[in-house]
């Protein structure tokens, strides 16, 4: 593929949106063609480059997609489920592929995403960091070796403004472990609360959640047994790693016809 992948970014003036736009502008294989924000926002009609501090780039902020004015190959969305579905329906209608980094979908919403993937290509991942996807592999191997003899806990840390808990990444870690252990994650999870909790039950995954400051993201998985403990931790110090992974996914999915993929599919190609 010689031509650049044309990308539309939603939530363009948010923290993740700004990081995506900066990385798109740096990447020789991509160009930004649409910068989208919520309806009636005060920054509409301004040059997005000037707004986020990288200088004029000729892309005007808008609150609506127009296939004639803002044509694109792939849309990248890191917003919230209701916003994601608005853009997903648009992509489905106009046969455009989409990269989704939003988390907190219900089972019913996930089923709709799966249905739409019959007609367009979708990369859906709880985390686009290469490091986190390596962590998934390490967790899988560790679970295979010592999972049956360990108390397993997942501790996740995020900024105060994150609205879903546990994080999508923490739940994905839980899913990785559950598949190895042949557990149902919903039935084998513990969410600690105040009070007399009783002794630690076996064959359970404990989740602990911290929301504080501007923590970008940190996930620690503990395998604790009598006499020793293994901790595997990934820390994101900024959002650049997520943005780079999402852009890599957009380039990868550009010419795919249809299907539902994740970041591991992108990295394995």
Q: pLDDT by residue (tens digit) across 125-182?
A: 988 998 998 999 999 999 999 999 999 999 999 999 998 899 989 999 999 999 999 9
Bridge partners, residue 230, by sequence: 223
Task: Using a pLDDT cut of 70, give the percent of the chain over it.
Answer: 98
Are the C-beta atoms of 243 and 138 separated by less than 8 Å?
no
Q: pLDDT by residue (tens digit) across 227-258?
A: 999 999 999 998 899 999 999 999 999 989 99
Q: pLDDT by residue (tens digit) across 27-48?
A: 999 999 999 998 888 999 999 9
Q: Which two tokens stand for residue 30?
A: 């991509």
pLDDT band at 265 (very low <50, low <70, confident <90, very high): very high
User: What is the rounded CA–CA span in Å between residue 242 and residue 132?
Assistant: 10
Asked whether residue 66 carries a pLDDT value surpassing 80, the answer given is no
Rg (the chain; Cα; Å): 20
* Helix residue ranges per DSSP H, 41-148: 48-52, 81-94, 107-116, 130-146
Asked whether residue 109 carries a pLDDT value surpassing 90, the answer given is yes
Q: Give pTM, 2 decimals.
A: 0.80
The residue ranges of every structural domain in the chain are: 5-124+239-268, 130-236
Residue 264 labeled ligand binder: no
Mean pLDDT, range 179-186, rounded to an integer: 97
Asked whether residue 95 carries a pLDDT value surpassing 70, the answer given is yes
pLDDT band at 104 (very low <50, low <70, confident <90, very high): confident
| 24 half-sphere exposure, CB direction, 13 A CA radius | 31
Asked whether residue 1 carries a pLDDT value surpassing 50, the answer given is no
User: Is the fold of 5-124+239-268 the same as that of 130-236?
Assistant: no
Residue 16 labeled ligand binder: yes
Cα–Cα distances (Å) from 267 to 73, 93, 173, 261, in that order, read 20, 28, 18, 11
User: What is the rounded CA–CA span in Å between residue 106 and residue 5?
Assistant: 31
The mean predicted confidence, pLDDT, of the chain is: 93
Mean pLDDT, range 91-100, rounded to an integer: 95
Is the peptide bond prior to 166 cis by the omega test (within 30 degrees of 0)? yes
Q: Which fold has domain 130-236?
A: Dihydrodipicolinate Reductase; domain 2 (3.30.360)
Residue 195 labeled ligand binder: no
Residue 127 labeled ligand binder: yes
Query: What value, to the nearest 5°, has the Cα angle with vertex 172 and ends 168 and 176?
Result: 175
So which residues are the catalytic ones? 158, 162
Residue 169 labeled ligand binder: yes
Q: Which fold has domain 5-124+239-268?
A: Rossmann fold (3.40.50)
């Amino acid at each position: 593929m010689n031509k650049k992948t044309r990308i539309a970014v939603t939530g363009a003036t948010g923290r993740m949106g700004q990081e995506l736009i900066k990385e798109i502008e740096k990447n020789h294989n991509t160009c930004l063609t649409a910068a989208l924000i919520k309806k009636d926002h005060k920054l509409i009609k301004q040059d997005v480059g000037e707004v986020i501090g990288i200088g004029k780039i000729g892309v005007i902020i808008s609150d609506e997609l127009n296939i004639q004015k803002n044509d694109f190959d792939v849309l990248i969305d890191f917003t919230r489920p209701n916003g994601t579905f608005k853009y997903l329906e648009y992509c489905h209608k106009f046969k455009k592929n989409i990269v989704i980094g939003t988390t907190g979908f219900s089972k019913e919403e996930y089923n709709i995403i799966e249905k739409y993937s019959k007609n367009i290509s979708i990369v859906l991942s709880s985390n686009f960091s290469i490091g986190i996807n390596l962590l998934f592999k390490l967790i899988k191997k560790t679970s295979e070796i010592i999972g049956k003899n360990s108390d397993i806990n997942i501790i996740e840390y995020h900024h105060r403004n994150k609205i879903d808990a546990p994080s999508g990444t923490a739940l994905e870690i839980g899913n990785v472990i559950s598949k190895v252990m042949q557990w149902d994650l919903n039935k084998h999870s513990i969410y600690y609360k105040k009070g007399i909790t009783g002794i630690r039950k076996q064959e359970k995954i404990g989740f602990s959640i911290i929301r504080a400051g501007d923590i970008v993201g940190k996930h620690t998985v503990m395998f604790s047994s009598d006499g020793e403990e293994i901790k595997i931790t990934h820390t994101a110090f900024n959002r650049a790693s997520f943005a780079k992974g999402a852009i890599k996914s957009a380039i990868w999915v550009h010419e795919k016809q249809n299907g539902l993929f994740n970041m591991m599919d992108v990295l394995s190609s």
